[in-house]
Amino acid sequence: MMKIQHFALLGITFLTLMSFSFLQYTEEDEPNYYSSDYIITYGQAGPFTLNSAFPGKEGEYMGYQLVQRKQIRYAEDGADTLTTFHAQKDGITHIIIHPKYNNDALIGGLEVVSALYETKHGVGVGSSLYDFYAIYPDAKGYYTFVSDMYWVEYPVMEGIQFLIDAKACKTEPDAFSDLTVIEKSNLNLKSRITGIRIF
């Protein structure tokens, strides 16, 4: 009888601790909570994280083949050339790794171009804007002529932009504004996300 009571008490204690741990979960825990190789979250895409060491050379790295590329970087004061690395599997680019703007030794940006990677709500490259707004109803669309880039973003998911192309916008945005807000009503919701930028 004592053994049964002892096991029952241990079981109740375990369930109480488990319940407490779930109650303590917050959005800040997300990077550690998700261990999948294909998760997109704050400051992270798959195994790559912002502000970690920027790859120094081509070759095998964390299960990927890194291939060096030269890319033009646009800014308000003009354009320059920078080195990026394409993280590939089987010759297909999954993530483009950018150096930090003011410190080339650190990762400053990640661009996901593979549909394998998703947010915890299942949004990724190839998701329609209809599905995106169904999950993130408070999202907003933007355009900047500085880099000629269109995207939608969800205010809570700071530092993540879901890229779209110009055809997703029903009318042309204001070409004289640094940043134009694109209302949901002005977006073709059948359009799909073309990439995901994490910065």
| 125-174 pLDDT tens trace | 999 999 999 999 999 999 998 888 999 999 888 899 999 999 999 998 87
In terms of pTM, does the model score above 0.85?
no
Query: Sheet holding 40-41: strands in order across?
Result: 40-41, 44-45, 48-49
pLDDT of 52 > 60? The answer is yes
Q: What are phi and psi of 147, to 5 degrees?
A: -115, 10
pLDDT of 3 > 70? The answer is no
Taking the C-alpha atoms of residue 175 and residue 173, their distance in angstroms, rounded to an integer, is 6
Q: Give the HSE-up count for residue 99: Cα atoms under 13 Å, Cβ half-sphere.
A: 19
pLDDT of 40 > 90? The answer is yes
Residue 7 in tokens? 């096991």
